[in-house]
Amino acid sequence: GMRFGLWFEPENISADSDLYRAHPDWVLGVPDRGRTLSRNEYALDFSQPDVVDNIFEQMTAVLDKVPIDYIKWDMNRNLTEVYSP
């Protein structure tokens, strides 16, 4: 009776990722100040439409191809430097 689920944590981005290298401006942060890493990740700025569109596209690319019974969106990070241009 076990069903297949998938855990997403799309609010975070690894500092060592292609997405971060391409779009460091997508990370929450106060201009001219350092950004706080948590578990070697930064928090994405979901107030930016490009961020939302990109994450949606990545998630639907998986969800449209794989029969998944449920998804879990885990948000277990304290937000710091909550600033968006």
Whether residue 48 is contained in a domain is answered as: yes
| DSSP 8-state symbol, 43 | E
For residue 2, pLDDT over 80 is answered with yes
Closest CA to 85 of 15, 32, 40, 36: 32
* Number of domain units in the chain: 1
Whether residue 84 is contained in a domain is answered as: no
**pTM for the model:** 0.83
Q: Residue 56 belongs to what H/E stretch?
A: helix 49-63
The first and second tokens of residue 2, run together, are 């076990």
Q: Which domain holds residue 44?
A: 5-73
Closest CA to 27 of 53, 51, 57, 49: 51
Tens digits of per-residue pLDDT, 28-79? Answer: 988 888 888 888 899 999 999 999 999 999 999 999 999 999 999 888 777 8
